[in-house]
Amino acid sequence: MTDDSSNNAPKGQAMWGGRFTAKPAELMQAINVSIGVDRRLAAQDLAGSKAHAAMLAAVGAISSEDEAQIQRGLMAIEGEMEEGVFPFREEFEDIHMNVEARLAELIGEPSGRLHTARSRNDQIALDFRLWVREACDRTVDQIIHLQQALLAKAEPHADTLMPGFTHLQPAQPVTFGHHLMAYVEMFGRDASRFRDARARMNECPLGAAALAGSPFPIDRAMTAAALGFAAPTANSLDSVSSRDFALEALSAATICSTHLSRLAEEIVIWMTPQFGFIRLSDAFTTGSSIMPQKKNPDAAELSRAKVGRILAAFTSLTVVMKGLPLAYSKDMQEDKAPTFEAFDALQLALGAMAGMVSDLEPNRDRMAAAAASGFSTATDLADWLVRELDLPFRQAHHLTGAAVKRAETLGVDLPELSLDELKALDPRITEGVYSVLTPAASAASRKSYGGTAPEQVRAQIARWKEVLA
């Protein structure tokens, strides 16, 4: 993928070989060839070539007869690719030259007119932008599928108690439905980031040519519309030299993968016998080659690990681009491999996570018992002292800390402290305090918008169902 103004080349000579009298060194050929990577852009390359040929004919840059021949040849190549018989050849370096060489074999001289008013520079900028745009669309669809799986699991568990954690220490009771809905929110923001990135990349670079535009009377708006873009790009230098559309998509992918990793980590923790909060079926677990009792959450662990590949791809492309002068440099050939790998990894992890969420079953009794441990209703006691005794919160906090210390000394939890023990802290405390000291009462009381009260959780589930519909 380098700037050129290629025509049909003599047999055995590179398509750009008119300036050269000798073939490239073997090592030069090895480092220069990219067809092993960019063959994934075949569909996008053909789409761009079809649109370009139609535009050239419409403005009179080529004849309608030549365009018909070119379109026929491109359709034949598309058929060969669908059947898996297209001859991808390293001698032609990249997907563009492979298509052009095969077109020459199929239709002869008219094939050489296809490259009028374009360069491989704007070709690859187009192909890659089309691919990343489609990857964003596929990813949004997968995120929505995962959100729907989370909603379906959250709804029957809107009132299933579990401990809420800070610092991985029991903090306050929440519901399992509320916990899952936190991820619905996170993935909703991820989807919006991909949509935003897609909107910004939705300009067509075709027609920028090598870097300066074209002297031919091309209609860039026509090719942009044919390829589903909102408009053509407005600066030819920027068109061929920018890859921020891929960087932005990789940034969104990195953030999304961190959310997947956090959920995967919780699944791993919840499955341990020490927690025992959930069960996964055999469909998303594996065994051990030596320990027959093991049931390992490998799908979650592998999803958790994918963030490494995705972040590495973002970092890799950032480093490639950070010092390049305008316009095109061959360094940019290194943009596609990490991007392809990152989206492959992300889409695999999204699919696996949606499957695990649908598959997992919570252990209600174990979760409820854990929700009641660790003095998890201490904040409720403090809030009750503020509401009923009109204490300043800091004083209520201090009294509650003393109650926790006393319960810890006696080896009981807060609801098991006698009224006399509580009155020793403040004689105005009444029997009514026990109404807030159970995990169920604690969760039910959190009725503020976005809180863990089951009625609030169900309201958010209903809202997201409507959004995703």
Residues labelled catalytic: 167, 288
Q: Is the Cβ–Cβ distance between 284 and 352 less than 8 Å?
A: yes
Pairing, β 231-232 against β 161-166:
unpaired
Q: How many Å apart are CA 50 and CA 314, to the nearest integer?
A: 32
| Chain Cα centroid distance, residue 213 | 34
Pairing, β 169-175 against β 161-166:
antiparallel
* CB count in 10 Å sphere of residue 184: 21
Nearest 5°: the CA angle 330, 325, 233 is 85
Q: Is the Cβ–Cβ distance between 117 and 56 less than 8 Å?
A: yes
Three-state DSSP at 185 gives helix
Q: How many Å apart are CA 190 and CA 263, to the nearest integer?
A: 14
Q: Is the Cβ–Cβ distance between 34 and 333 less than 8 Å?
A: yes
Question: What is the DSSP code string of 183-221?
Answer: HHHHHHHHHHHHHHHHHHH-EE-TT-TTTT--SS---HH
